[in-house]
Amino acid sequence: MINQRYAKITGWGKYVPERVLTNDDLAQMVDTSDEWITTRTGIKERRIRTENDTTSSMAVAASREALKVAGLSPKDLDLIIVATSSPDYLLPSVASQVQDMLGAECGAFTLVAGCSGWVYALTAASQYIISGAYNRVLVVGVEIISFALDFTDRATCVLFGDAAAATVVEASNEPGGLLSFELGSDGSGAMFLYVPDGGSASPISQRTIDERRQYLRMDGPEVFKFAVRTLASSLKRVIYQAGLTPDDIDLFIPHQANARIIEAAARQMRVPLDKFYINLDRYGNTSAASVPLAMVEAFEEGRLKDGDLVAMCAFGAGLTWASAVVQVGTGEISTAHSLFSVGRARYLARRASDAVLDTAQSALLPLYTFLYQRRRKK
């Protein structure tokens, strides 16, 4: 009998640059105010890289912390996935730089899915683990988005910040870890959030510099509508897919783009707002680092304990979105969660019936093949 494998988060760490840029600082640079930014977004301050920070160095700092929490050395890793839209260079892949700087001896790749990147990467890492291919995968979300911000454009420069967060995902035979997920893409909205120049479609030219086309452009209200539409509906789908209800979820970790988007989702789901983790007031939107940074801080603040069920959702450039339900904790699931949650029991029952069906189908396969061949011979 083959043991079911589960992918669990066993280590976490973060790195945020020292430099703090407040709303009042920004009001000195563009025509804005602390009042506008706070009421329209909930953001009070964000971190901006110093001259010592690169995407790779920030990813490595967060990864070292995550490995320490997991009790692993870089050589124990089977794979590294770095989610980012702001790598050190177009080539090489920043994941290879991270692998080398850590001293790991494994494959590494960069995953680009805008702000949804880390949740995409978490689900990818989990598939390598659940399939039995790998046992330990490092999943990083990192962004120096400030390099792509136009600090003369008040509509975008007030929203984002730089940060890195890393998680170690490991194989386990105890139920838990990633329970369900949804990945989404709607490329018809690509131009709502994009950087016009610097890719192969429109390489850097004099026009780039003259028209500031190397910087991020966003149709805020369009992305806002997409985000409000997506956050609550995608969260509900992954929660039901895991055999749970919103009431079973201990903590919601939404993408930290705008407090108004999170409040709208909480209202639509009829979930109290204090069940939604929010740290965007201190960091702004850190893109691919946003959800893992929030998760790391939730662990650090004791908002997450073994057995807790977390529902997360990220959305952004692409347009993309990615949601997941994860049961945190590395050991056995506490009795409170395994016995008293109807949703959890439903989930385990469904997994068991799927396993029985899989086994039955595998056992019957030679018979089907034999009957099929006999029919063809006739």
| Single residue of 224, 276, 299, 347 touching ligand UT7 by CB under 6 A | 224
For ligand UT7, which is the closer residue by CB, 41 or 234?
A: 41
Q: Does 176 bind ligand UT7 (CB under 6 A)?
A: no
- Would you give the binding string for ligand UT7 spanning residues 343-372, x where CB under 6 A is met? ------------------------------
Angstrom distance (rounded) from CA 328 to CA 8: 7
- Would you give the binding string for ligand UT7 spanning residues 62-101, x where CB under 6 A is met? ----------------------------------------
Report the residue number whose CB is nearest to ligand UT7. Answer: 220
Strand-pair partners of 182: 323
Angstrom distance (rounded) from CA 60 to CA 26: 29
Torsional sign, CA 203, 141, 110, 316 = negative
Let me know if 255 is a catalytic residue. Answer: yes
For ligand UT7, which is the closer residue by CB, 129 or 319?
A: 319
Taking every pair of Cα atoms in the chain, the longest distance, rounded to a whole number of angstroms, is 85
Binding to ligand UT7, residues 230-269 (CB under 6 A):
257-258, 261
For ligand UT7, which is the closer residue by CB, 76 or 222?
A: 222
Let me know if 337 is a catalytic residue. Answer: no
Tokens of 81: 């996935």
Among 309, 361, 357, which residue's Cα sits nearest to residue 175? 309
Angstrom distance (rounded) from CA 95 to CA 104: 11
| Single residue of 22, 34, 220, 348 touching ligand UT7 by CB under 6 A | 220
- Would you give the binding string for ligand UT7 spanning residues 314-333, x where CB under 6 A is met? --x-----------------
| Single residue of 10, 86, 285, 323 touching ligand UT7 by CB under 6 A | 285
Q: Does 229 bind ligand UT7 (CB under 6 A)?
A: no
- Contact of 109 with 259, CB cutoff 8 Å: no
- For the chain, strand residue ranges (E) read 6-15, 20-22, 45-47, 79-83, 107-111, 136-143, 163-172, 177-185, 193-194, 217-218, 251-254, 309-316, 320-327
Angstrom distance (rounded) from CA 207 to CA 200: 15
Angstrom distance (rounded) from CA 173 to CA 7: 9
For ligand UT7, which is the closer residue by CB, 112 or 348?
A: 112
Report, as residue numbers or ranges, the catalytic residues: 115, 255, 285
Binding region for ligand UT7 (CB under 6 A): 32, 36-37, 40-41, 115, 154-155, 158-159, 193, 220-221, 223-224, 227, 257-258, 261, 285, 287, 316
